[in-house]
Amino acid sequence: MNIKQTDKIRLRFAPSPTGYLHIGSARTALFNWLYARKVGGQLIIRIEDTDRSRHIEEAIVPILESLKWLGIDWDEGPDTGGKYGPYRQSERTDIYKEYAQKLIDDKKAYICFCGPGELSTRRKAAESGGRIFKYDRRCLSLAPEAIAGKIKDKQPFAVRILVPDNKILRFKDKVYGNISVNSDTIEDYIILRSNGLPTYNFSVAIDDILMKITHIIRGEDHLSNTPKQLLVYSALGMDPPVFTHLPMILGSDGQKLSKRHGSVSIESYREEGFLPGAIVNYIALLGWAYDEKSTIFSAEELIEKFSLESINKKGARFDYKKLLWMNGNYIRKIDDAKLKEMLTGSILKYMDSMDPSVFLKNAPGLEETIKRIIPLIKERIGTINESLDWMMPFFTKIEYSRDMIEYFDNKSIDPSLILSEILNRIDPLKDDFKSSNIEADLRKISDEMGLAFRKLAEVLRIALWAKKVSPPLFETMEILGYKIVIERINNYLQILAGK
């Protein structure tokens, strides 16, 4: 078996298909990709799917699709192949058995017949006596004949690695520095289960060796696994890779990031209308920084500036508002023609799910209207989906909430009087319904009524938009058109009269 390493820098991202791609996993994939591309190395995708109790086969394709959507590509993987495959652990079980047998032959592992029930009883006995349970190696002394007999009798067995006594396991982490662990704190852990499947620390180490991985970048939750994996490297006479463990991503409250902090999967953010460039830019800054002030980076700039030495060991806080701000920044960089294409696709998809009866009969043309709307909302939206709130009232009927119907009840103005005056005065504009003419006319009405213009605008905005906030009022009225403006004012007046 040839297990020599290579001078070529090789990294891997190895997701477990237990669900969608999490923000934390996406950051791990990104950091591996950035470093591989920076140093001219290779990135391998490996699917770690031997934990059958949590395995979701249908999750594999969405994980790979999310990576591609983010712009993360790879050189070898389950979909692209490569000379070090297979790239799914479930297809490598014979390899793990082969290496487990090699360790047994070299007296560095041994067969264990102690079943889960027996081990549980001994663990409880130790704990009740105030002792920390550690496997006592009782199967290590079994004679070859006894082992052969038990196997012949089809007794289930696992394989345990033989951990050297009192050996200091040392490694240098790029983030956490020099780390050492005494082997006496590690029991002879199982490397091959009785069902023939490998345990995590064994399969990972074997795969990293055979796939010639030189650098491992992963979350800090794997720090405790590293000494166990070093034992496999040592048993096979291999030098370990360079380790970099990334700080945990925390929620805004300082606790581990979870669903209670908002969306945590890339799939969710994609559905919400976030842009891949913004997601990549933001998660790159979770635990890494180029300097104290730079925040906006293209993928090319991230590759150029990224370094393992600049990763901070302090937990990174996920700030949804900052991500939203960054996404808005990216939206504003999009060419209007491209943004029109994106918004049209988004709004058509949304309309497909709506009842046709809600659409306006006199609604302006879709694409031309979106083109006119973009300058009004581009500076205001944080996501593509958020644009729907700003665009849909141009095409669909509006509904007034109870708050908007009663909004003026305790205020010193009469909305019905204001809207009636507007109706009486706006008719001459119907053949030249332009924003500049509309503004001049409304300001004149405001002056003649002795009413602050902001109050008139507030009444009109609620009548036309059913909300206190809308796109710029005059331009909105021009795009809606004279007929719809008059119709909405009348509808609101009727509602106010009948409340």
Catalytic residues: 259
Query: Which residue, chain included where needed, has tokens 């180490």?
Result: 205
Nearest by Cα to 430 from 487, 493, 471, 363 = 487
DSSP three-state, residue 443: helix
96 φ, ψ (degrees, to nearest 5): -65, -40
CA distance 357 to 364: 16
Kindly report the number of other CB atoms within 10 A of residue 403's CB atom.
10
Interior/surface letters 69-88, b for 16+ CB within 10 angstroms, e for the rest: bbebebebbbeeebebbebb
Query: Which residue, chain included where needed, has tokens 């605008």?
Result: 457
Answer left, alpha or beta for residue 61, where phi above 0 means left and psi between -120 and 50 means alpha: alpha
DSSP string, 322-356: HHHHHHHHHHHHS-HHHHHHHHHHHHHHHHHTS-G
**Angstrom distances, CA of residue 114 to CA of 111, 135, 188, 399:** 9, 10, 13, 69
DSSP three-state, residue 161: strand
Burial of 32 (0-12, 13-18, 19+ CB in 10 A): buried
Burial of 411 (0-12, 13-18, 19+ CB in 10 A): exposed
